[in-house]
Structure 1
Amino acid sequence: MYKIEVESAKKVIKATISGMLSLDDVKNYQDELITTCSKLNISEYVLIIDAREQKAMSQDAIPYVEQIMKFYADTPFKKRFSVMLESAIAMSQVNRVGKKEVELFELVTSVEEAYAKI
Structure 2
Amino acid sequence: MFKMEIDKLKKVFFITAAGFFSMQEGMDFMAEYQSRTSMFDPKEYTLIVDGREVKASAQDVAEQLKNMILLYMSVPFKKRIIIQQQSAVVAGQTKRLARDIPEFDTIIFAETVEEAYSKL
The TM-score, its normalising length taken from structure 2, stands at: 0.91
Q: Give the secondary-structure state (helix, strand or coil) at the position aligned to 2:32.
A: helix
Change in CA separation of 1:16 and 1:109 when aligned onto 2, cut-off 3 Å: same
AA matched with 2:74: D
Residues 1:60 and 2:79 are matched in the alignment: no
Aligned residue in 2 for 1:110: 112
Report the identity percentage.
33
TM-score relative to the length of structure 1: 0.92
Give unmatched runs, 5+ long, in structure 1: none
Say which SS state the counterpart of residue 103 (structure 1) adopts: helix
Over 3 Å counting, the alpha-carbon distance change for 1:94 and 1:108 in structure 2 is same
Check if 1:13 corresponds to 2:13: yes
Give structure 2 stretches of 5+ with no counterpart. Answer: none
- Post-superposition offset of 1:48: 0.3
Partner of 1:77: 77
What do residues 49-103 of structure 1 show as CA deviations (whole Å, max 9, x unaligned)? 0001111112222332222111111211001111111111111111111123542
What do the CA deviations read for 1:1-47 (whole angstroms, capped 9, x no partner)?
A: 11111111111011101111111111111110111001211100100
Q: Within 5 A, what are the aligned runs for 1:31-70? A: 31-70=31-70
- Residue 7 of structure 2 aligns with an amino acid whose one-letter code is E
User: How many residues end up aligned between the 2 structures?
Assistant: 118
